Amino acid sequence: MPGKILCVVGESGSGKSMCAHALMGLLPDTIIREAGEIAYDGRNLLTLDDTGWLALRGRHIAMVFQEPMTALNPLMRVGDQIAEMFEAHNLLTPRQRKQKALQLLREVGLPEPERSARAYPHQLSGGQRQRAMIAMALALEPTVLVADEPTTALDVTTQAQILELIRDLQRRRNMAVMFITHDFGVVSDIADRVVVLQHGKVVEQGAADDVLRRPQHAYTRALLAAVPSMQPPPRAPLADRAKAVEVIGLDKTYVSGGGWFQPERRVRAANEVNFDILQGETVGLVGESGSGKSSVARLVMRLIEPDQGTVRLGDTDFTRVAGRALRKERSRIQMIFQDPFASLNPRRKVGNIIADGPIAHGTDPAVARQRAAELLGLVGLNASAMERYPHEFSGGQRQRIGIARALALEPEIIVADEAVSALDVSVQAQVLNLLEDLKTRLGLSMLFITHDLRVAAQICDRIAVMQRGAIVELKPTAALFSAPEHPYTSELLAAVPGQISSSRAA
């Protein structure tokens, strides 16, 4: 549909990317098309031969991919890669192609277009690379732009800019845009029409307003309900409790390079970081990639050593213990990791994965295994999981196993590093509920690291916002959302997609 943005939404495995690739004729040969047609300009694209596709691709239908770093050739200058678009269709002279490329780079808002054109992809930032990708896609003024999760790999503030750019270009050029995403926030910001996919089938489609506000299909409703709201729920005050964790003046600088003839590169991952967590409290650590939030989590866990500063667990100075004493103290603070596929040893059975920790601390193996079975029940899995290997479980189930492993040592504090970020939205909601529930029942304190402000709003008592290794603002959640003080906090909050519609809906 010309002049409209169509969003295709679905969870992983729903077949949304497949749609995009089919439209470009880019499906691998191993996939056999059973039936159907793609109508474009009165023709069925699926009847095209190779030369037909060559003429169509780029010229009439262009595509933007998810990960701009891998979607650009690392050995070619950005300007040349854009100029190649004209070359592919034998348009213009080489000189004109160069000029057009510059003009396009300017149009998508890249700073210093001349320099960007000469740069190699690795010399640009993620957002700049995606702008360059968009410039490339727009070069031949296509009538249809296919964008496959174009903002998923980007930080939230960059995402907001790219969405704005796509919307703006679409209006100016009156293009049709097919926008693939898993994020309902993005949908509500950008879509005119919405198609919801589940297991490769369209379960619902219609105008954006209708689908988002009056969803007909149960699946759509469930998906929408699982999106965390930006309104923090009221939380009981936690005054006059003892401190479970106290972080004082944590400093960490990464130095790389610095050989005989090379200058050193310094990255400040933690800069004078101070915060504390009360018993039973959840403190969120929020920031974009490279803000140092994961480094702080690892410093607190003593997975990396700080240059300076102290981490106290109750009365113990956790940064001063070493060797056997350190291994013993470690049981008090446990971690839940981000990637459910990398956080479990593929060659050990689930029962061992959970029981290994207690056994290392001297628990009798039989008792530890008994306890592991109970823990599996606690996180909502069957005890028969004990004898199976991690690859037999889904992402959400693996994350539950990871939680059981962390709980096995009966810790006082849990550090959750992006623990729900890799999960689909419906699974994410379940795991968040489980965490919240366990925390209350077992009286745990929690440090919750996330880039997603919506998730933070739902689970944190207080939130610390990090930028370039430093905490710029630390406040109770409700106060942070309603009255942000630091400009960076306001910027982050404003960039969260999908706020117009949720306030509209509310």
Identity of the residue, 100 or 405, whose beta carbon is nearer to another protein in the bound complex:
405
**Neighbouring C-alpha atoms within 13 Å toward the C-beta of 201:** 5
Single-letter residue type at 485: E
Residue 229 per-residue DSSP state: P
Among 5, 8, 85, 245, binds another protein (CB under 8 A): 85
Does residue 40 touch another protein according to CB under 8 A? no
Distance CA 141, CA 478 (A): 46
Does residue 342 touch another protein according to CB under 8 A? yes
Does residue 41 touch another protein according to CB under 8 A? no
| Phi and psi at residue 9, to the nearest 5° | -115, 145
Does residue 307 touch another protein according to CB under 8 A? no
Q: Are 397 and 381 in contact (CB under 8 A)?
A: yes
| Binding residues among 374-413 for another protein as defined by CB under 8 A | 402, 405, 408-409
Does residue 260 touch another protein according to CB under 8 A? yes
Q: Which of 341, 368, 340, 339 is nearest to 354 (CA)?
A: 368
Which region, judged by CB under 8 A, interacts with another protein, from 6-14, 67-75, 182-190, 211-219? 67-75
Compute the least distance from the CB of residue 137 to another protein, in Å: 8
Distance CA 481, CA 465 (A): 11
Identity of the residue, 223 or 438, whose beta carbon is nearer to another protein in the bound complex:
438
| Binding residues among 7-36 for another protein as defined by CB under 8 A | 24, 26, 28-30
Among 65, 184, 219, 275, binds another protein (CB under 8 A): 65
Q: What is the dihedral of CA 146, 149, 153, 157, to 10 degrees?
A: 90
Instruction: Tell me the three state secondary structure of residue 83.
Output: helix
Compute the least distance from the CB of residue 53 to another protein, in Å: 8
Distance CA 415, CA 338 (A): 11
Does residue 321 touch another protein according to CB under 8 A? no
| Binding residues among 104-133 for another protein as defined by CB under 8 A | 120, 122-123, 133
Identity of the residue, 23 or 478, whose beta carbon is nearer to another protein in the bound complex:
23
Compute the least distance from the CB of residue 295 to another protein, in Å: 13
Which region, judged by CB under 8 A, interacts with another protein, from 239-247, 260-268, 483-491, 493-501? 260-268
Compute the least distance from the CB of residue 52 to another protein, in Å: 11
| Phi and psi at residue 446, to the nearest 5° | -140, 140
| Phi and psi at residue 26, to the nearest 5° | -110, 15
Compute the least distance from the CB of residue 316 to another protein, in Å: 14
User: 121: which residues sit within 8 A by CB, 6+ positions away?
Assistant: 68, 69, 72, 73, 74, 78, 129, 132
Among 9, 16, 22, 58, binds another protein (CB under 8 A): 58
Q: Which residue has the tokens 């499906």?
A: 27
Among 327, 392, 394, 487, binds another protein (CB under 8 A): 327
Compute the least distance from the CB of residue 261 to another protein, in Å: 4
Among 347, 366, 441, 506, binds another protein (CB under 8 A): 347
Residue 72 burial by CB count (10 A; 0-12/13-18/19+): exposed, middle or buried? Answer: buried
Task: Count Cβ atoms below 10 Å from residue 77 Cβ, excluding itself.
Answer: 17
Among 1, 55, 218, 367, binds another protein (CB under 8 A): 55
Task: Count Cβ atoms below 10 Å from residue 79 Cβ, excluding itself.
Answer: 23
Which region, judged by CB under 8 A, interacts with another protein, from 216-224, 258-266, 367-375, 452-460? 258-266
Among 1, 46, 255, 303, binds another protein (CB under 8 A): 303
Compute the least distance from the CB of residue 29 to another protein, in Å: 6
Site size for another protein (CB under 8 A): 67
Residues in contact with another protein, shown as a per-residue x/- string from 456 to 495 under the rule CB under 8 A: ----------------------------------------
Among 162, 175, 301, 429, binds another protein (CB under 8 A): 301
Q: Which residue has the tokens 């159907």?
A: 36
The stretches of 191-346 forming alpha helices (DSSP H) are 208-213, 218-226, 293-301, 323-329
User: 99: which residues sit within 8 A by CB, 6+ positions away?
Assistant: none
Strands 282-286 and 445-450, bridge-based pairing: parallel
Distance CA 280, CA 314 (A): 13
Cα four-point dihedral sign 378, 382, 388, 389: negative
Residue 228 per-residue DSSP state: P
Distance CA 167, CA 190 (A): 7
Identity of the residue, 2 or 257, whose beta carbon is nearer to another protein in the bound complex:
257
Q: Which residues contact another protein by CB under 8 A?
A: 24, 26, 28-30, 53-59, 62-63, 65, 67, 70-76, 84-85, 87-89, 120, 122-123, 133, 136, 257, 259-262, 298, 301, 303, 327-328, 330-331, 333-335, 337-339, 342-348, 353, 356-357, 360-361, 402, 405, 408-409
